[in-house]
């Protein structure tokens, strides 16, 4: 059996290594059009800044490794330029020698990845506009940043460790944010232009607000809700990034990070089916519409197993698993890809921004109304132990049966502990009742006796059991507002129109509250408001807790101010 | 309805607060014999060292909070000295006034906690021997450490920031290790005496070896496998800790941390049933054998839901959940405690030592042979991103169906991410196949595309699918040993009797290997050995991988050296 794998890196290289382990006799040819068969593209932004010092650190496995350890015929700088699916051949072009050869396959695995989107805007080909996808890209960016023929800004007083001083990053997704941070580390002045009204698309916008505030605090200038219209050469050698709103951002370097599109040129040549999102359509065995062609990684569409929707998930984790599954199936095994739940995390200036499962905006887009959401702001670990930081957590769950649908966790400590608990819970079809009972690790430096994950379950459970009707700031504009905080807290920030009865006086002052209106209760974090909700409900009042309290209000755009 | 709750802190205070939320009308009396109704006893070791500066930080909620926010009649320094279950009364003694009163209850909740074990050894009552259970204990220890009438050691050259200079900690469990660390932080010379041959009882001994090495590296002197026989006054005001092996350890302060026993005096007075481990027997509703008496927290026995065995789990997390459940049931709800899985974590000099589920030694004790184990040593995050540290992981799973049984994770980075993933997985009855497919968060600063949890699933899956027969160092003494590392690695450490064929030469040198013997394969971490196992198996050899490779060998006591 001869298997040709097109593309190395996460999906292809995993597939080749796994296949060899399963089948010592298979003839395996892996071709990669770039110079490196397996490199850590996730590390590129950190290599550009020098956080990862050596380029060689990014090279995971060499051609030599594949040849000697895995007996894989591995060819770099070698591109598949044609596929003849009926004849089961591919046409290979060696980019060093220019030679073109034909190779026959029994099974073909496409792992072509995705390409940075580079729209045909005026000036897009000007020097100084880069994507961040390959090791050579990183090398080019580093060289450009330190080049010597840029104008000299030394008299402007701007402190930069390199010659390039102003960067514009276009796109507020993972790579855009990582590049913004790493360019700031290099001393550049960074403007981030994003077409949407938020950064970090996996997050809901109100959670993204927190990320945006954090970026601004660290010096990133945000230009949201504005799309790039083009580029032009400015005086003195710099570029100008022109936007639809008519702005012009000066830049010595521009990073394009507006997303990726699946590489489907080969799939089209092979005549295999594409999906609704433009990726290669595969079944759960990673098999395409041609039974002898498999596809894995960024180029394929996979089912989101929370929403049941097809989606494109250009992440290394799923690519690795898919490569492995394709190898299993080619070797005659019954492995299946279970779909994705979109678990992701991004480092943003010492904060971690993570999500798993579905976001509210996706539920809204799908017309799904069988969900409730909560906001909570627990400490990352016991508050009395040094270093505790506040986490911001949003959890989505199904109203009808309590199934956990999604979670977004932001913070500067303890984020991975929680997002992975949520991720494992979603994978196993947990309900919020399971979260209540979860036995997670606790000692003062690491957590709380009621972990934030338990706490999320308890809050959600209170809602679904009818113990704590809930509302949210955007729906709370017209209610009767009761603030149960203590007066000194109100002096810092109060809510217009809310009457104040501190929690400890509530039982004695019930007479001041209306019995014919729904009372919406406010405190700092929604905990005392929960206690107040219980007191009012048991005394015959209609009451709702405003989820997340004042802490939510600060990042929910509700038009109060 | 009148409910009396005996004991505050985690279990009792949770119960009182929850009950009030569910029943605004219930009369709730909570009595606590100590001076504080709710304090963070988990923080005591850190307060003793000053890591947690203020004693007030440890006071979670005051009597006043309970009175005003929860309308709970809360009495501290008030002890229940008698229970008459038939009459449904308790006898209360006020330790300030000496007054004794009788109170009637409809429901009684016992949350008496556990008491440090203090065996009646000769000299146990000498001054300077402390337990660590309450805020006053911490205060006493701090006072003792800084007292001025201890002998002056200033000329011995020993550096200490306090007057006490030598401490003996007795007991190598959580509190013992936390105290050892915090006393070292205070500049004391610390000897840890432990009766067992290992520290950290939830761990298997070979994993505890790593903790012991870490403790010694940080200056803790270990005296394992030696029990305390008694104490005596030494010259100059110090103590001597005498052990069964005949040693005498000088100490200016002694910390007794040999474990706790459930406080069952009240349960005995009430005539309710105790369990086989000496704790109060409760059903899943936290109800004792008397239908009007509930019990929660350290004093009760709970089912370990992995092993099905009764166990005592003196941890804050379960206590909190149990208090909540008892309140639910008293308020007429059908809440159930699902049992425990023993999830725990301990900070040991910047390392985290964590476990969840069952350990191998418990399986062995139960006579359970339907399990396999693996050792792995993955990076805490992508090796190319700065700060990655090696994790040491042991995973136990059922041979027959792959169910995850337990995990032990040690390391200086990323431990909570993994142990909580394993914990959630065990709670949901995951198999190792579920771990293979888990979609956990990944970005270079936080993990790897194949997370250590995935990796554990894959290694275990390889074993159960028959792709990679495995063995362990203790069983590998008589096999034919093949080391597939490269010669420079062998120069650092080699295994006597092993022949060396580097992996990349293996296919060409198969003729050097015996076909009639099982070949046990060694490399650094068992990864290359896995590849070698696959090559040999597919070429008709009998082969096994030695789990964890050389990295396991260093902490598995196998008698090789």
Q: Please give chain A's pLDDT, 561 residues, in tens.
A: 999 999 988 899 999 999 999 999 999 999 999 888 888 889 999 999 999 999 999 988 888 989 999 999 999 999 999 999 999 999 999 999 999 999 999 999 999 999 999 999 999 999 899 999 999 999 999 989 887 555 555 554 433 334 789 999 999 999 999 999 999 999 999 999 999 999 999 999 999 999 999 999 999 999 999 999 999 988 777 899 999 999 999 999 999 999 999 999 999 999 999 999 999 999 999 999 999 999 999 999 999 999 999 999 888 889 999 999 999 999 999 999 999 999 999 999 999 999 999 999 999 999 999 999 999 999 999 999 999 999 999 999 999 999 999 999 999 999 999 999 999 999 999 999 999 999 999 999 999 999 999 999 999 999 999 999 999 998 887 789 999 999 999 999 999 999 999 999 999 999 999 999 999 999 999 999 999 999 999 999 999 999 999 999 988 754 433
CA atoms within 13 A on the CB side of B313: 29
- Paired with A356 in beta bridges are A407
Report the residue from A423, A449, A503 with minimal CB separation from B316.
Answer: A449
Nearest-Cα distance to chain B for A196, in Å, is 23
Beta-carbon contacts of A516 under 8 Å, excluding residues fewer than 6 positions away, are: none
State the pairing for strand pair B293-295/B107-110. Answer: parallel
Position B561 scores a pLDDT of 34
Q: Do B534 and A21 touch (CB under 8 A)?
A: yes
Backbone angles phi, psi at A190, to 5 degrees: -120, 130
Instruction: Tell me the chain B residues in contact with residue A70 when contact means C-beta distances shorter than 8 Å.
Output: 531
Instruction: Tell me the chain A residues in contact with residue B423 when contact means C-beta distances shorter than 8 Å.
Output: 421, 438-441
> So which residues of A are the catalytic ones?
523
Q: Do B345 and A46 touch (CB under 8 A)?
A: no
Q: Do B21 and A430 touch (CB under 8 A)?
A: no
Q: Do B25 and A467 touch (CB under 8 A)?
A: no
State the pairing for strand pair A239-243/A248-251. Answer: antiparallel
Instruction: Tell me the chain B residues in contact with residue A535 when contact means C-beta distances shorter than 8 Å.
Output: 24
Q: How far apart are CA A254 and CA A83, in angstroms?
A: 36
Report the residue from A414, A417, A439 with minimal CB separation from B317.
Answer: A439
ipTM above 0.90, yes or no: yes
Q: What are the tokens at B393?
A: 């992981």
Nearest-Cα distance to chain B for A384, in Å, is 5
* Composition of chain B by helix, strand, coil, percent to 5: 30, 25, 40
List, as one string, the DSSP characters of B69-124: HH--EEEESEEEEEEETTTTEEEEEETTT--EEEEE-SEEEE---EEE-----TTT
Nearest-Cα distance to chain B for A47, in Å, is 9
Report the residue from B70, B420, B449 with minimal CB separation from A317.
Answer: B449
The percent of residues in chain B predicted with pLDDT above 90, rounded, is 87
Position B158 scores a pLDDT of 38
pLDDT tens digits, one per residue of B135-177:
999 999 998 988 755 555 555 443 333 478 999 999 999 999 9
Instruction: Tell me the chain B residues in contact with residue A454 when contact means C-beta distances shorter than 8 Å.
Output: 317, 321
Position A557 scores a pLDDT of 54
pLDDT tens digits, one per residue of B60-104:
888 898 999 999 999 999 999 999 999 999 999 999 999 999 999
Beta-carbon contacts of B398 under 8 Å, excluding residues fewer than 6 positions away, are: B370, B371, B405
Q: What are the tokens at A535?
A: 């007191």
Position A39 scores a pLDDT of 85
- Kindly state the average pLDDT of the residues B218-232: 97
List, as one string, the DSSP characters of A464-518: HTTSS-EE-GGG-TTSEEEE-S-HHHHHH---TT-EE--HHHHGGGGGGS-SSSE
Other CB atoms within 10 Å distance of the CB of residue B61: 18
Position A9 scores a pLDDT of 80
Nearest-Cα distance to chain B for A367, in Å, is 26
Q: How many CB pairs under 8 A join A and B?
A: 242
Q: How far apart are CA B527 and CA B378, in angstroms?
A: 11
Confirm whether B523 is a catalytic residue: yes
Backbone angles phi, psi at A298, to 5 degrees: -55, -25
Q: How far apart are CA A74 and CA A30, in angstroms?
A: 5
Contact yes or no for B483/B490 (Cβ under 8 A): yes
Q: How far apart are CA B459 and CA A16, in angstroms?
A: 18
Residue A287 Rama label (left phi>0; alpha psi -120 to 50; beta): beta
Report the residue from B51, B427, B441 with minimal CB separation from A438.
Answer: B427
Q: Do B442 and A338 touch (CB under 8 A)?
A: no
Q: How far apart are CA B345 and CA B354, in angstroms?
A: 4
pLDDT band of B560, cuts 50, 70, 90: very low
Q: Do A423 and B446 touch (CB under 8 A)?
A: no
Contact yes or no for A261/A278 (Cβ under 8 A): yes
Report the residue from B42, B347, B421 with minimal CB separation from A421.
Answer: B421
Q: How far apart are CA B80 and CA B93, in angstroms?
A: 6
Q: Do A46 and B444 touch (CB under 8 A)?
A: yes
Position A468 scores a pLDDT of 97
């Amino acid at each position: 059996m001869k298997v040709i794998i097109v593309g190395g890196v996460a999906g292809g290289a995993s597939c080749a290594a796994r296949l060899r382990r399963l089948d010592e006799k298979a003839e395996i040819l892996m071709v990669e059009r770039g110079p490196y068969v397996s490199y850590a593209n996730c590390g590129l932004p950190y290599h550009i800044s020098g956080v990862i010092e050596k380029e060689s650190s990014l090279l995971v496995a060499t051609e030599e490794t594949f040849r000697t350890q895995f007996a894989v015929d591995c060819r770099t700088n070698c591109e598949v330029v044609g596929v003849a699916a009926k004849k089961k051949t591919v046409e290979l072009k060696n980019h060093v020698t220019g030679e073109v050869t034909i190779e026959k396959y029994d099974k073909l695995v496409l792992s072509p990845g995705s390409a940075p989107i580079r729209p045909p805007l005026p000036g897009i080909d000007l020097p100084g506009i880069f994507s961040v996808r390959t090791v050579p890209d990183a090398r080019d960016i580093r060289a450009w940043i330190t080049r010597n023929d840029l104008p000299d800004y030394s008299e402007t007083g701007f402190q930069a460790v390199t010659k390039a001083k102003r960067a514009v990053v276009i796109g507020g997704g993972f790579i855009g944010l990582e590049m913004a941070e790493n360019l700031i580390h290099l001393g550049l002045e960074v403007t981030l232009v994003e077409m949407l009204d938020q950064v970090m698309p996996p997050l809901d916008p109100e959670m993204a607000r927190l990320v945006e505030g954090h970026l601004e605090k660290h010096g990133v200038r945000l230009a949201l809700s504005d799309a790039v219209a083009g580029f032009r050469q400015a005086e003195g050698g710099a570029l100008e990034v022109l936007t639809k709103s008519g702005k012009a951002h000066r830049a010595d370097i521009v990073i394009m990070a507006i997303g990726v599109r699946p590489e489907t040129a080969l799939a089209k040549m092979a005549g295999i089916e594409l999906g609704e999102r433009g990726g290669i359509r595969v079944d759960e065995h990673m098999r395409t519409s041609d039974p002898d062609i498999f596809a894995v990684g960024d180029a394929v569409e996979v089912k989101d197993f929370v929403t049941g929707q097809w989606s494109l998930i250009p992440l290394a984790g799923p690519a690795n698993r898919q490569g492995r599954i394709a190898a299993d199936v080619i070797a005659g095994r019954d492995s299946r890809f279970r779909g994705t739940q979109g678990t992701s995390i991004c480092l943003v200036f010492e904060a971690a921004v993570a999500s798993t499962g579905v976001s509210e905006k996706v539920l809204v887009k799908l017309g799904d109304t069988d969900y409730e959401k909560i906001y909570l702001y627990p400490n990352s670990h016991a508050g009395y132990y040094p270093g505790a930081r506040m986490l911001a957590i949003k959890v989505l769950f199904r109203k009808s049966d309590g199934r956990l649908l999604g979670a977004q966790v932001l913070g500067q400590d303890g984020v991975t502990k929680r997002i992975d608990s949520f991720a494992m819970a979603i994978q196993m079809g947990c309900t919020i009742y399971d979260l209540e009972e979860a036995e997670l690790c606790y000692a003062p430096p690491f957590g709380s006796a009621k972990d934030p994950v338990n706490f999320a379950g308890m809050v959600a459970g209170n809602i679904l059991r009818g113990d704590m009707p809930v509302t949210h700031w955007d729906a709370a504009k017209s209610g009767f507002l009761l603030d149960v905080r203590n007066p000194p807290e109100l002096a810092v920030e109060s809510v217009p129109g809310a009457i104040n009865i501190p929690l400890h006086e509530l039982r004695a002052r019930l007479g001041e509250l209306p019995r014919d209106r729904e009372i919406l209760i406010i405190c700092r974090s929604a905990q005392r408001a929960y206690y107040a909700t219980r007191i009012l409900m048991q005394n015959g009042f209609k009451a709702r807790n405003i989820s997340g309290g004042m802490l939510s209000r600060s990042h929910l755009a509700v038009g109060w101010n």
